[in-house]
Chains A and B, each alone.
Chain A
């Protein structure tokens, strides 16, 4: 069953609450072996990491939780295209259709494909177990002396 995303009014309320850095939905990690499996791949198709998620977690929040280099400039309010990911086709078809505002942002995403989505709008359900989110080609992944970038 699709899980409703936060409505715009709620996002505005969050914005006006004046709270400091609020991440888009912080996530808690499930007990190992019990969660929904999500694979992150880089643009070349190499597996970055397989992680486990709870029902309802969104891909952007999961990427942040697991130090995957996926940006969320507007913090999940569907006002940018920085969290664009490419979904495995067999799982893409299981997702609810993107709404107009998500499509408006996908229009401007770099490297758009037929199975592109905004990571912030993809919430995991049990039937998505094994889903893959591939970072688009422009996403960079760079290390100096093997040091991974830290999230500020």
Chain B
């Protein structure tokens, strides 16, 4: 049986859960242990994707999953290469990343997995980015010190922010803007971010959605956190919005959302200087300069789509942030524009005719689209790992949940893209050089930076103080010369 030498593109939670599952299903001391290598490539210098650069700073518990990722990375069959962006076009390269064409990677691997997530924010057609319209993702990247390095929002000059979209990203941003810096400062919030938040003049955050409370994408936990904000209160909703419909039964989550909205915020309206509102059934149609938002009022049709009622209104604001979901990077080889992500069946990448690219897989948001929580990402990742093994060890795998690998037709022209056998230790020349030059980060180096970030945080009485790449590189170089 030839070995599995797997390259995973992307080093977020889906990638690490697949790696972890493969490494534990083929235990190091087992007969098949030597038959596996897993190399993870990430375009960012630091691993863990959205766990590091997406999870809100005041949700530290969510980051506990990295302990499992660290355990997987300790396995000698695992390697991580940060700052390597595989299979992209120059327009989407993140700062400092080395671009590596797929053709340079493929000769070194027998298996390929795309865990590239959904990195591209969907824009609102009526709200192109401008001085007054930003992507909510830029705000997330600002407060997580993402390598894309967006500018800080001018919070000292604005009092009213409007978020377009009613998902958890919107609520995360709203919570960051409305929570006192004295609460946030103990978390993993960079000092530069806290400085801006301390000077903030923001008094109100509007969270606009074109449908109603039963269709909103946020989850109850995040809504409850909004209700419990220490310094802010919710503008009361029209009670008519909160009546359960008589014709359709509600899901458990919908019922609990309505109950929470009926109860309102812990701080009573009018008792706080800061406020927030959920503006349901409003759809933006444009921005009157400098920042007056034009809204069409909407209602649901029989298929629960938002349709205009004919009424309109205007909302005076200072900054609009759009948060309307994500799709995968269209520059990727297997990107399907109709889906907004890669086309897969049971984790195997397929073409439009349903034929399978042999030994090429996708997992997580790159395969499913950008939705769902860590638990769904984990279950998907485990299923993909199981599929990889079921394909590689036909008839030798017992599984109760994965349907047995159905015979499938392979895409003939592409079947030779991966060699059947590969040198287990080899990496692309560019990567080897990048490691020599200190441009490519391996997991051990990340763990040194990680420990140093925590140490720098402890000095300030906080969870961690993040480094950017320049600081991390300087730290790693100083460490290398000390050890030399």
Interface on A for B, CB 8 Å cutoff? 11-12, 15-16, 18, 20-22, 42-44, 71, 73-75, 77-82, 84, 100-101, 103-105, 107-110, 112, 137-147, 149-152
Contacts and interface: CB of A to CB of B under 8 A. Distances in A.
Interface in B289-333: none
A75 B68 CA distance: 10
B30 interface: yes
Contacts of B378: 71, 73, 82
B261 interface: no
28 contacts: A21-B70, A21-B71, A22-B67, A43-B400, A75-B61, A77-B64, A80-B65, A81-B373, A84-B375, A100-B224, A101-B224, A105-B221, A107-B252, A107-B256, A108-B376, A110-B376, A140-B382, A140-B386, A141-B401, A142-B400, A144-B26, A145-B31, A145-B396, A147-B31, A149-B25, A150-B27, A152-B20, A152-B71
Question: Interface residue tally of chain B, by bracket?
Answer: 35 or more
B393 A108 contact: no
Contacts of B397: 142-144
Contact of B463 (A16, A112, A150): A16
A150 B24 contact: yes
Contacts of A15: 60-61, 64, 463
Given A142-B397, A142-B398, A147 B224 contact: no
Interface in B11-53: 20-21, 23-28, 30-32
A21 B67 contact: yes
Contacts of B256: 103-104, 107
A74 B61 contact: yes
B452 to A, nearest CB: 12
Interface in B54-81: 59-62, 64-65, 67-68, 70-72, 74-75
Contacts of A138: 379, 401
Interface of B: 20-21, 23-28, 30-32, 59-62, 64-65, 67-68, 70-72, 74-75, 186, 219-221, 224, 252-253, 256, 373-376, 378-379, 382-383, 386, 389, 393, 396-402, 454, 458, 463
A142 B401 contact: yes
A78 to B, nearest CB: 7
Per DSSP, chain A at the interface is: loop
Contacts, number: 144
B213 to A, nearest CB: 15
Per DSSP, chain B at the interface is: helix
A144 B20 contact: no
A107 B219 contact: yes
A142 B64 contact: no
Given A104-B220, A139-B401, 7 more contacts: A84-B375, A104-B219, A108-B219, A109-B375, A112-B252, A142-B401, A144-B30
Contacts of A42: 400
